[in-house]
């Protein structure tokens, strides 16, 4: 294959869907932030406001039969994989009808061909390589996208995964979401080289303006075709998060409010795409504003439904319902009693 193309064949419908899906993620994340501030969300919670073009562009560049794995800033990814907003919000709230039955919360979400939502920094990258190995072994003709952050890019296991993926030419795109800050440390303070797309050495790399959803889509569509024939790629998605590392982080001790506002004003992925759609004649101002209003109203309805969901029962059976074994059940299972009616107080 030659160099990535500088043009993209698409449709008006797809362009409007890209716009709609970015608003869907943003309104959902804003709603989750509100629920956290109302103390209805427990534990850690990491929002992707500002980074919507990555999740949307990636999903539109692959199929639902391809696989995706990422870190804990994952709400938008699982939504794009096909989960409903109420299932995602329900999981954040720890409810039984959430995507992980209320057991994973904000950090650990799973869905068909979506393998998390992983809490250990960088640990999802070798798992992604393993998923791609399974695809190659089974001859599925599909790929895996393994996403990680600029902080995780310095993990040793990331380089080990690169080595094995290239050794076996696995069908995987390693995608570094460079939002410029690893928690509260700027990329320049934590990395000897901030050219993350070059980190693969013997693996070709590409840097993408990930504040442009069409650029992400074009790169992923090209990358999918490439890795199925030639082995892995390393992508750097240059993006930005408006909020702190997590909702408990104000995000203003290592950057100023003016810094954030400058990016919002000049590079916001939704606002800039809004202007592009009008300039291209894809939609007019009122149609795009209506998409925004419709998505916001839909998310608010989904919040109401998510809050109606029940919490999981604190029973021994539920604690062990996702444990698996082969053959007859072993006599002793750690943490379990023979009495099936046992309840925790």
181-199 pLDDT tens trace: 999 899 999 999 999 999 9
In angstroms, the CA 145 to CA 58 distance is 9
337 contacts: CB under 8 Å, gap ≥ 6: 316
The string of pLDDT tens digits covering residues 85-125 is 999 999 999 999 999 999 999 999 999 999 999 999 999 99
In angstroms, the CA 125 to CA 146 distance is 6
The string of pLDDT tens digits covering residues 131-163 is 999 999 999 999 999 999 999 999 999 999 999
Count other C-beta atoms under 10 Å from residue 141's C-beta.
11
For 263, counting Cβ atoms within 10 Å of its Cβ (0-12 exposed, 13-18 middle, 19+ buried), the class is middle
**Angle, alpha carbons 13-5-143 (nearest 5°):** 75
Q: Residue 41: which of 99, 113, 92 has the closest Cα?
A: 92
In angstroms, the CA 290 to CA 267 distance is 22
Mean pLDDT of the chain: 92
Tell me which H or E stretch contains 223: helix 213-230
Specify the range with the lowest mean pLDDT, choosing from 31-40, 237-246, 276-285, 318-327: 318-327
CATH number of 12-312: 3.40.50.970
**Angle, alpha carbons 237-181-48 (nearest 5°):** 60
Q: Give start-end residues of each CATH 3.40.50.970 domain in the chain.
A: 12-312
In angstroms, the CA 133 to CA 121 distance is 21
In angstroms, the CA 217 to CA 340 distance is 50
Confidence band, pLDDT 50/70/90 cuts, at residue 305:
very high
- Strand runs labelled E in the chain: 67-69, 144-149, 172-178, 181-182, 185-186, 205-209, 233-238
Q: Phi, psi (5° rounding) for residue 111?
A: -155, 175
- 8 A C-beta contact, residue 106 and residue 46: yes
Q: Residue 61: which of 278, 224, 226 has the closest Cα?
A: 224
């Amino acid at each position: 294959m030659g160099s990535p193309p500088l043009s993209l064949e698409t449709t008006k419908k797809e362009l409007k869907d890209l716009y709609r899906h970015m608003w869907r993620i943003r309104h959902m994340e804003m709603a989750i932030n509100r629920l956290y501030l109302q103390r209805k969300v427990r534990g850690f919670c990491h929002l992707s406001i500002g980074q919507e073009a990555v999740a949307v562009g990636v999903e539109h560049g692959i199929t639902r039969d391809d696989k995706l794995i990422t870190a804990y800033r994952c709400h938008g990814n699982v939504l794009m994989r096909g989960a409903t907003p109420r299932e995602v919000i329900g999981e954040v709230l720890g409810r039984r009808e959430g995507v992980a039955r209320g057991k994973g919360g904000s950090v650990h979400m799973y869905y068909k061909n979506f393998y998390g939502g992983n809490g250990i920094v960088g640990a999802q990258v070798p798992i992604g390589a393993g998923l791609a190995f399974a695809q190659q072994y089974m001859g599925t003709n599909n790929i895996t996208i393994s996403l990680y952050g600029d902080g995780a890019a310095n993990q040793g296991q990331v380089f080990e995964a690169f080595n094995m993926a290239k050794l076996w030419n696995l069908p995987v795109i390693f995608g570094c979401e460079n939002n410029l800050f690893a928690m509260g440390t700027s990329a320049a303070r934590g990395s000897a080289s901030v050219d993350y797309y070059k980190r693969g050495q013997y693996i070709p790399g590409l840097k993408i303006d990930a504040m442009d959803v069409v650029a992400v889509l074009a790169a992923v569509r090209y990358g999918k075709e490439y890795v199925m024939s030639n082995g892995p790629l390393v992508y750097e998605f240059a993006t930005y998060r408006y909020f702190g590392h997590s909702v408990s982080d104000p995000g203003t001790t290592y950057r100023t409010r003016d810094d954030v506002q400058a990016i919002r004003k000049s590079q916001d992925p939704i606002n800039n795409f809004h202007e592009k759609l009008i300039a291209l004649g894809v939609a007019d101002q009122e149609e795009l504003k209506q998409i925004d209003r419709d998505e916001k109203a839909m998310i608010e309805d989904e919040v109401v439904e998510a809050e109606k969901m029940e919490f999981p029962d604190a029973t021994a059976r539920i604690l062990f319902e996702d444990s698996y074994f082969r053959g007859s059940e072993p006599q002793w299972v750690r943490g379990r009693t023979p009495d099936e009616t046992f309840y925790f107080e």
